Amino acid sequence: MFKVLVADAIKPDGLTPFIGREDILVVQKTVEEVRNELHEFDALLVRSATKVTDALLDRMTSLKIIARAGVGVDNIDVPSCTKRGIIVVNAPDGNTISTAEHTFAMIASLARNIPQAHQTVKGGGWERNRFAGTELKGKTLGIVGMGRIGSELTKRARAFQMDVFAFDPFLTAERAKELQVSTGSLEDLMAVSDFITVHTPLTKDTKGLFNRETIQKCKDGVYLINCARGGIIDEEALYEAIESGKVAGAALDVFVEEPPVDNRLLNLNQIIVTPHLGASTKEAQLNVAKQVAKEVVSFVDGIPVSNSINLPAIPAELFNRIQPYYQLVKTVGSFLSQFIQEGIKEISVKYGGDTFDYDTSILTKALVSGFFKGRVDVNVNEVNALLYAKERSITIGEKISNEAHGYSSSVTVKIVGETKTMEVKATYIKEYGPRIFAINDFKIDFYPEGHILYIQHHDRPGVIGVVGKKLGDMNLNIATMQVGRKEAGGEAIMVLTFDEEIPEDALSDLASSPDLSIVQGIELPAY
Ligand SMILES: NC(=O)c1ccc[n+]([C@@H]2O[C@H](COP(=O)([O-])OP(=O)(O)OC[C@H]3O[C@@H](n4cnc5c(N)ncnc54)[C@H](O)[C@@H]3O)[C@@H](O)[C@H]2O)c1
Ligand SMILES: O=C(O)CC[C@@H](O)C(=O)O
């Protein structure tokens, strides 16, 4: 049973993708409520309340996937998840419209002092002069961060006849033209904008982007809006700038500490605030809950997730195309791993032929994870495979070439160990399935699945008979057998498959035969 912990307030209507799945158990409780069963959960669904720290991950030993019902993953220790092979997914576009609408509501409220006026009237006041505002028409809105929310905001600004000036280092001239916005540096934006709103993630570059020094570069009487993450506008600097009159007002949906405790900004009339409500609409919450629940279901079904933070995205159509090689490289990794039982220095792969016209890094990650699976007792998968190898100073090489060795496509995988080097060539043939067609330059052709016996021997009459007799005496039935050699009378190999696992004593008995130089049992997963 795959156990999912829904730890934060995630809309139950959004959990419909789990309905009818008898293999998935969904538990809606906080981390505290299930503190003694944390090790049992395979998936964790959160919003921003649950802090997914390294310490929590230590206790969730079965965790395979964390889904954030929203955009920002700053409440999740993503590097620690990556190290542990835990996939982190989010719901990047489910709350875009709601957050853009909320931001625009904040801009309009600031311009017309609506929250302050509302409060005064409710208190019996009627101060029309005090709350006179400013028109948005003809004013410049500076948008820092022109991603999903920033881009949506431009449409709302245009409807109010505002000019938009954008700053985003990743915004192309073509996209800016499409969005009908002027662009320039952050300083240019500060110099021309009457209202400035930030829509970036909180990173080391964006933390304190608006600080004592940079705020001084803004127009006098500017309005600042933050509906992204607390800290992008430095809270102390903002307080001082409002007190001095440099900033006319600010709207904050987010704070460095949430909820804000003893925050002086809350004492200022020029500040309007909401309690991190950007994404809090029924539509956004339904969208994000559905998106992340679908991701978890895909994960359970072995379909690649679409919005992973620590894995490359693979569209379903591409995955269907690469799937045969995805599984093949894992199998080849496992095959080689069972041969080379010593320290590894290098794993390299060459992709040959026309199948590989896409980013093959996911295949390389699958290969490396296939190599380590079963070899080490930590969870090595596509999320952490390259990091795991790097931490152990194992060089990973990847090349694309035209050479497919007579097939339409093939992969060549080489492992360099402390004392041994081994190379396998494999392909996938439609309707025949996967084939290993060369091992260390021995030509061979077999289906890499199940219980396999690899034997290396000298090519001379009678050796095959010796092997057959020994196996017969042990009552082991050979399912298939392939032989390969480089030249007559030289070294040769046999690859035999069996319907059942080859017992250890059978392997040691064969290994004691002077005719056989290598005897290796190999277990591979079924296709
Ligand atoms: N208040 C809320 O409830 C709420 C809801 C949703 C999202 N958010 C926040 O809003 C942020 C933006 O969301 P989004 O969906 O638009 O994300 P996005 O990834 O689509 O856009 C972020 C943009 O920021 C840009 N950027 C990154 N660093 C920058 C820098 N130093 N200077 C300028 N631009 C920079 C990126 O190029 C990108 O275009 C999220 O990171 C999240 O933290 C808040
Ligand atoms: O869960 C929420 O309501 C906040 C979501 C928001 O901050 C986000 O990053 O998507």
Question: Complex ipTM, two decimals?
Answer: 0.99
Residue 314 has pLDDT above 80, yes or no: no
How much is the pLDDT for 190?
98
In sequence order, what are the beta bridge partners of 384? Answer: none
How much is the pLDDT for 8?
96
Ligand 2 atom with the shortest distance to the CA of 90 = 10
Q: Is residue 312 within 8 Å of 400, Cβ to Cβ?
A: no
Among 437, 439, 450, smallest CA distance to 477 is for 450
CA torsion sign for 237, 239, 241, 243 is negative
Residue 47 has pLDDT above 90, yes or no: yes
* 200 Cβ below 6 A of ligand 1: yes
Ligand 2 atom with the shortest distance to the CA of 279 = 3
Summarised one tens digit per residue, pLDDT across range 287-312 is 999 999 999 999 999 887 889 999 87
From 10, 47, 68, 283, give the residue whose CB has the most ligand 2 atoms within 8 Å, as the site to mutate: 47
From 73, 168, 172, give the residue whose CB has the most ligand 1 atoms within 8 Å, as the site to mutate: 168
Summarised one tens digit per residue, pLDDT across range 256-280 is 999 999 999 999 999 999 999 999 9
Phi, psi of 214, deg, nearest 5: -70, -30
Tell me whether residue 525 is exposed, middle or buried, using C-beta atoms within 10 angstroms of its C-beta: 0 to 12, 13 to 18, 19 or more. middle
Whole-number Å distance between alpha carbons of 235 and 229? 12
Residue 118 has pLDDT above 90, yes or no: yes
Nearest CA to ligand 1 atom 32: 168
The answer for residues whose C-beta is within 8 angstroms of residue 107's C-beta and 6 or more apart is: 136, 141, 195, 197, 223, 225, 251
Nearest CA to ligand 1 atom 8: 228
* 147 Cβ below 6 A of ligand 1: yes
* 146 Cβ below 6 A of ligand 1: yes
Whole-number Å distance between alpha carbons of 504 and 120? 85
How much is the pLDDT for 505?
93
Q: How many Å lie between the centroid of ligand 1 and the Cα of residue 103?
A: 13
pLDDT band at residue 317 using 50, 70 and 90 as cut-offs: confident
Task: Strands of 330-477 (E only): list them.
Answer: 344-353, 395-401, 409-417, 421-429, 433-439, 442-446, 450-458
Q: How many Å lie between the centroid of ligand 1 and the Cα of residue 229?
A: 9
Ligand 2 atom with the shortest distance to the CA of 74 = 9
Summarised one tens digit per residue, pLDDT across range 432-458 is 899 999 999 899 999 999 999 999 999
Among 358, 110, 90, smallest CA distance to 226 is for 110
How much is the pLDDT for 15?
96
From 6, 276, 307, give the residue whose CB has the most ligand 2 atoms within 8 Å, as the site to mutate: 276
How much is the pLDDT for 527?
77
* Position with higher pLDDT, 374 vs 233: 233
Among 88, 84, 65, 64, smallest CA distance to 76 is for 88
Domains of the chain: 2-92+283-313 (3.40.50.720), 96-273 (3.40.50.720), 315-432 (3.30.1330.90), 441-527 (3.30.70.260)
Summarised one tens digit per residue, pLDDT across range 457-474 is 999 899 999 899 999 999
Q: Is residue 413 within 8 Å of 330, Cβ to Cβ?
A: no
How much is the pLDDT for 418?
92
Residue 117 has pLDDT above 80, yes or no: yes
Q: How many Å lie between the centroid of ligand 1 and the Cα of residue 321?
A: 33
Whole-number Å distance between alpha carbons of 511 and 396? 33
Residue 207 has pLDDT above 80, yes or no: yes
Q: How many Å lie between the centroid of ligand 1 and the Cα of residue 199?
A: 4
Q: How many Å lie between the centroid of ligand 2 and the Cα of residue 319?
A: 30
Q: How many Å lie between the centroid of ligand 2 and the Cα of residue 332?
A: 42
Q: How many Å lie between the centroid of ligand 2 and the Cα of residue 207?
A: 18
Calculate the average pLDDT of the chain: 95
Helix (H) or strand (E) holding 79: helix 78-84
How much is the pLDDT for 112?
98
Where does 135-281 have alpha helices with state H?
148-159, 173-178, 186-192, 212-215, 235-244
Residue 315 has pLDDT above 90, yes or no: no
Q: Given the DSSP bridges, would you call strands 409-417 and 421-429 parallel, antiparallel or unpaired?
A: antiparallel
Nearest CA to ligand 1 atom 10: 228
Running DSSP on this structure, what letter comes out for residue 404? -
Whole-number Å distance between alpha carbons of 2 and 133? 56
The whole-angstrom distance between residue 369's C-alpha and the CA centroid of its chain comes to: 16
Ligand 1 atom with the shortest distance to the CA of 96 = 15
Whole-number Å distance between alpha carbons of 225 and 207? 15
How much is the pLDDT for 158?
97
How much is the pLDDT for 379?
83
Cβ density class 99-138: b for 16+ within 10 Å, e for less: bbbbbbbbbebbbbbbbbbeeeeeeeeeeeeebeebebee
* Catalytic residue list: 229, 258, 276
Ligand 2 pocket, Cβ-based, cut-off 6 angstroms: 47-48, 70-72, 95, 276, 278-280
Task: Pull the structure tokens for residue 432.
Answer: 């025949």
Whole-number Å distance between alpha carbons of 201 and 448? 46
Whole-number Å distance between alpha carbons of 254 and 93? 19
Ligand 2 atom with the shortest distance to the CA of 284 = 3
Per this entry, what is the length of the chain? 527
The answer for residues whose C-beta is within 8 angstroms of residue 146's C-beta and 6 or more apart is: 154, 166, 167, 168, 171, 175, 176, 179, 181, 199
The answer for residues whose C-beta is within 8 angstroms of residue 516's C-beta and 6 or more apart is: 455, 456, 457, 463, 467, 510
Q: How many Å lie between the centroid of ligand 1 and the Cα of residue 167?
A: 12
Summarised one tens digit per residue, pLDDT across range 151-188 is 999 999 999 999 999 999 889 999 999 999 999 999 99
From 97, 143, 149, give the residue whose CB has the most ligand 1 atoms within 8 Å, as the site to mutate: 149
How much is the pLDDT for 488?
86
Q: Is residue 41 within 8 Å of 4, Cβ to Cβ?
A: yes
Whole-number Å distance between alpha carbons of 342 and 233? 53
Nearest CA to ligand 2 atom 7: 72
* 72 Cβ below 6 A of ligand 1: yes
Running DSSP on this structure, what letter comes out for residue 196? E
Q: How many Å lie between the centroid of ligand 1 and the Cα of residue 89?
A: 16
Q: Given the DSSP bridges, would you call strands 43-46 and 65-68 parallel, antiparallel or unpaired?
A: parallel
Residue 316 has pLDDT above 80, yes or no: no
Percentage with pLDDT > 70 across the chain: 100
How much is the pLDDT for 305?
87
Residue 64 has pLDDT above 90, yes or no: yes
Residue 313 has pLDDT above 90, yes or no: no
Phi-psi region of 124 (alpha: psi -120 to 50; beta: other; left: phi over 0): left
How much is the pLDDT for 318?
84
* 168 Cβ below 6 A of ligand 1: yes
Ligand 2 atom with the shortest distance to the CA of 47 = 1
How much is the pLDDT for 234?
98
Phi, psi of 197, deg, nearest 5: -125, 140
Residue 489 has pLDDT above 90, yes or no: no
What is 361-394 written as a DSSP string? Answer: HHHHHHHHHHHHBTTBSS---TTTHHHHHHHTT-
